[in-house]
Amino acid sequence: MLATAISANRLSSIGTYNLFSYLNPLNPFVEHVRGLCVLLGAIRYQCSVPSVTQIADGARTNHHEFSRWHNGGGTFHKSACVDPTAIIEIGSIVHSEAVLDANVHVGSGTVIGPAVTVGQSTKIGYNVSLSNCTIGDSCLIHNGVCIGQDGFGFSVDEQGSMMKKPQLLNAKIGNHVEIGANTCIDRGSWRDTVIGDHSKIDNLVQIGHNVVIGKSCLLCGQVGIAGSVTIGDYVTLGGRVAVRDHASITSKVRLAANSCVTKDITEPGDYGGFPAVPIHQWRRQVANLYSHLSKKSIS
């Protein structure tokens, strides 16, 4: 019996595969089983590794048209126009008709959707999703950013059911723009969503569909901009500022943290509060509130 011929300790040290050679290396049956073990191991490995077919999406995509990029090991579609100097890191994918200009760097896990254009010297971090958009030159897109997905637009039908509004336009990012981690910028529905040149956006910012932001704007963390907002040039939004839909903010406006814009701002200057008012007016409101609370606590 096998159990009497070989001890349990010896079995564990030999292993399943080498056991056949240990018993009788010249037996044809043993050789056949050995080959079967090798084949099963190869199948298990192949099933555990994502193939190009698994990572490429789209019902109209021919998955055999994807290849490995020579500079970084990522995957690209044969119809994509990729400059030879571009780096596509392993685990990232560039879909059909996308354009990557010179010295673009695409981090692992990033998806560049069909017909997306990325300008020269732009750096894209890990796990970024780009679709229905164009990215300008010398931009910096940090990890987890999503650009070009559908905006949040619905209507209510006669039965009270929510009906999705078409979101068919694009998002356009200018030159020298920096976008912080996990920020989301939606595509347009009735006009393109636009981020102007040299604007800087912090982490965790939400920019809704049809928003137009001018050049050299600064958006701090957790800012939320509802759909169809228009913002001029040189505007600064402090942390957690909220802007209601269809509002307009003129150029050279600064908003204090936690402010909420509920109507158009037509004059340059500093604003704060909920609703946002000129900064000196907001400070008077805060001072009066503290004075009232102090008198109340004393009495």
pLDDT reading at 155 higher than 90 = yes
pLDDT reading at 50 higher than 90 = no
**Among candidate residues 148, 117, 119, the one with its CA nearest the CA of residue 134:** 117
Residue spans of the domains in the chain: they are 2-48, 132-284
Alpha-carbon gap, residue 162 to 107, rounded angstroms: 37
Residue type, 44: R
Q: Is 209 a catalytic residue?
A: yes
The predicted structure's pLDDT at residue 64: 85
Give me the chain's average pLDDT, please: 87
Distances (CA, A) of 46 to 51, 54, 134, 146, 178: 8, 12, 36, 31, 39
Look-up of token digits 């209507």: 155
**Among candidate residues 80, 79, 83, 167, the one with its CA nearest the CA of residue 122:** 83
Task: Give the rounded percent of residues in the chain with a pLDDT score beyond 90.
Answer: 74
Distances (CA, A) of 229 to 20, 160, 250: 72, 27, 11
pLDDT reading at 59 higher than 90 = no
DSSP 125-137: -TT-EE-SEEE-T
Average pLDDT, integer, range 145-166: 95
The predicted structure's pLDDT at residue 48: 44
> What pLDDT, in 10s, does the model give residues 168-191?
999 999 999 999 999 999 999 999
pLDDT band of residue 277 (cuts 50, 70, 90) is: very high
> What pLDDT, in 10s, does the model give residues 183-221?
999 999 999 999 999 999 999 999 999 999 999 999 999
Average pLDDT, integer, range 229-248: 98
> What pLDDT, in 10s, does the model give residues 68-118?
999 999 999 999 999 999 999 999 999 999 999 999 999 999 999 999 999
CATH 2.160.10.10: does it fit domain 132-284? yes
Residue among 70, 142, 209, 246 flagged as catalytic:
209
The predicted structure's pLDDT at residue 296: 74
Q: Are 258 and 243 in contact (CB under 8 A)?
A: no
> What pLDDT, in 10s, does the model give residues 11-40?
444 444 444 444 444 566 656 656 665 565
Q: Are 67 and 82 in contact (CB under 8 A)?
A: no
